[in-house]
Amino acid sequence: MRFVFVICLISACGEDLDAPRSPVGAIPETEQRSGDAAEGWRALIEEGYVGCGLPLSAYQRVFPDPAPAEVRLDRAGPSADLPYNLTAFRTANGVDVVTPNCLQCHAQQHGDQIVFGLGSHTADYTGELDTLADLAGALVEDPTEKAEWQRWRDRIAAVAPYTVTKTIGVNPADNLAAVLFAHRDRDTLAWSDEPLMELPPMITVPVDVPPWWHMQKKNAMFYVGAGRGDHARIMMTASTLCVDTVDEARAIDSYFPDVRAFLLSIEPPKWPHPIDAARAETGRAVFEGNCARCHGTYADDGDTYPNLIVATAEVGTDDVMARGAGQFADIYLDWYNNSFFGELSNLAPAPGYIAPPLDGIWATAPYLHNGSIPTLRALLESSTRPRFFVRSFNPFDYNVAAVGWNFQALEAGHDTNNQEFDENQIYDTTQLGYGNGGHTFGDTLTADQRDAVIEYLKTL
């Protein structure tokens, strides 16, 4: 509450479009509500925080058999047979529905493991989501179920044109949030089929989903450091798809400190291949001399992490997101900060990017906020970054030497008729928001130093 009040003083309350921005530099720590990690995991995979979904009966007609055992979780009830990224729950109207949960975007198969908390980097958002929703609707007959399907389908139809990416593997969540805010009354959270304010451009900002274990160290959520105040309240914005009243939102919020506690309990996966310890130790010194001032230090007896937002002019990476794309445009910030969500938290992006913690960095390829660089080696030697490429989406096709995904560099991108690949398989770094420039801090290293830093990064 206090924070909202302070913002009001600065922006003359409600007189819009003067939304708060954060400065670049160190992000201060804010107090968080505590929670129970085990309870958080249960809520994450069982609760209906998304608020609507496809009637279970229709889902079961398409998928009559249980999902393969390796993608199921230990769940009772109607979720028992579903894959980890879907949850079944009963809506207020008494209809059992199936909906994607957080793990849709925040889990990923890597080798033969499903890593919970690792950002999904293989999902395909290059098509419109509503086609499938419509097909599924044909399978729903019962009138109560049909009404429930319609509610879900209307939301999907509203967001579909604004969440189409140009490349498989990048995520549209920032634009998705903007569209959902635009369709909701700021005070009551009531949904309106007609947007209540301007919608974002249909050019979807591409985002590489960050791993959840970063939140052990980060004082603000999101690449542009926008998520300030109470993080649990921010995390529950995933409920803006179908949660249509403040009372319902408050009930969900009551267990989100537990969800946050679960997120903070996740440890990054360990590098599963051999490491040259002597070379890694040389790399540590190079890292501490060249990288630690932004990315912190890593030691058995305690890490340091400066929580630094680096101005786009200094880091030089694609600046579309930091200029206020998706939910970070003024009108959406204004909506958020004056809504139920703004009671405990606020969105205040900075004109730059956070230098992220590098724990488990080997597993989080591709790199940068837009996933524009497939390997650590290419990140640290900018002349070798592919301008146009197709990267492997096979979770076993990992490149141990380059630390990242195998890829094939191409001569041309989306503007040519490539016979070999569909356009949506090609990462074209000349597209708006997809740039792979900047972060040239590895270029001044000698080849030996670079090898050593890469060896060191494997140990984090």
Residue with Cβ nearer ligand HEC (145 or 356): 356
**CB of 285 closer than 8 Å to CB of 402:** no
Residue with Cβ nearer ligand HEC (140 or 168): 168
**CB of 23 closer than 8 Å to CB of 126:** no
Quick one: CA dihedral 17, 171, 157, 246, positive or negative? negative
In the block, tokens 């009963």 appear at: 90
340: contact with ligand HEC by CB under 6 A: no
Residue with Cβ nearer ligand HEC (186 or 214): 214
104: contact with ligand HEC by CB under 6 A: yes
439: contact with ligand HEC by CB under 6 A: yes
Residue with Cβ nearer ligand HEC (393 or 441): 441
What six digits make up the tokens of 270? Answer: 């360990």
Rounded least distance, CB 106 to ligand HEC, Å = 6
| The one among 186, 218, 377, 458 contacting ligand HEC by CB under 6 A | 218
Residue with Cβ nearer ligand HEC (35 or 356): 356
310: contact with ligand HEC by CB under 6 A: yes
Rounded least distance, CB 353 to ligand HEC, Å = 4
24: contact with ligand HEC by CB under 6 A: no
Cis upstream peptide for 366 (omega within 30°): yes
| The one among 151, 214, 228, 391 contacting ligand HEC by CB under 6 A | 214
356: contact with ligand HEC by CB under 6 A: yes
* Cα distance between residue 122 and residue 125, in whole Å: 9
Each residue 283-302 as x (binds ligand HEC by CB under 6 A) or -, in order, gives -------xx-xxx-------
| The one among 242, 361, 410, 426 contacting ligand HEC by CB under 6 A | 361
* Cα distance between residue 404 and residue 14, in whole Å: 46
* Cα distance between residue 225 and residue 348, in whole Å: 7
* Cα distance between residue 232 and residue 227, in whole Å: 10
Which 41-60 positions form the footprint of ligand HEC (CB under 6 A)? Answer: 49
**CB of 368 closer than 8 Å to CB of 317:** yes
Question: Interface with ligand HEC by CB under 6 A: which range of 90-98, 272-280, 297-305, 375-383?
Answer: 375-383
Rounded least distance, CB 274 to ligand HEC, Å = 21
* Cα distance between residue 187 and residue 178, in whole Å: 16
**CB of 81 closer than 8 Å to CB of 72:** yes
Question: Interface with ligand HEC by CB under 6 A: which range of 10-18, 273-281, 356-364, 420-428?
Answer: 356-364
285-293's contacts with Cβ under 8 Å and 24+ in sequence apart are 286/445, 286/449, 286/452, 286/453, 286/456, 287/453, 287/456, 287/457, 290/441, 290/444, 290/445, 290/453, 291/441, 291/453
**CB of 366 closer than 8 Å to CB of 108:** no
Residue with Cβ nearer ligand HEC (140 or 367): 367
Residue with Cβ nearer ligand HEC (140 or 243): 243
* End-to-end CA separation in angstroms for the chain: 38
Rounded least distance, CB 421 to ligand HEC, Å = 24
Which of 301, 217, 275, 324 has the alpha carbon at shortest distance from 452?
Answer: 275
Rounded least distance, CB 309 to ligand HEC, Å = 8
Rounded least distance, CB 12 to ligand HEC, Å = 28
What six digits make up the tokens of 262? Answer: 């679960």
The rounded Cα 418 to chain-centroid distance in angstroms is: 30
What six digits make up the tokens of 126? Answer: 């290059």
| The one among 43, 133, 160, 368 contacting ligand HEC by CB under 6 A | 368
280: contact with ligand HEC by CB under 6 A: no
Residue with Cβ nearer ligand HEC (140 or 307): 307
Each residue 170-189 as x (binds ligand HEC by CB under 6 A) or -, in order, gives -x-xx-x-------------
Cβ neighbors of 150 (< 8 A, separation 6 or more) are 137
In whole angstroms, how far apart are CA 208 and each of 173, 429, 448? Answer: 10, 14, 29
Residue with Cβ nearer ligand HEC (55 or 117): 117
| The one among 85, 165, 204, 317 contacting ligand HEC by CB under 6 A | 317
106: contact with ligand HEC by CB under 6 A: yes
Rounded least distance, CB 28 to ligand HEC, Å = 16
Q: Which amino acid belongs to residue 121?
A: H
| Site of interaction with ligand HEC (CB under 6 A) | 49, 102, 104-106, 171, 173-174, 176, 207, 209-210, 212, 214-215, 218, 221-223, 235, 238, 259, 263, 290-291, 293-295, 310, 314-315, 317, 353, 355-356, 358, 361, 364, 367-369, 376, 379-380, 439, 441-442, 453
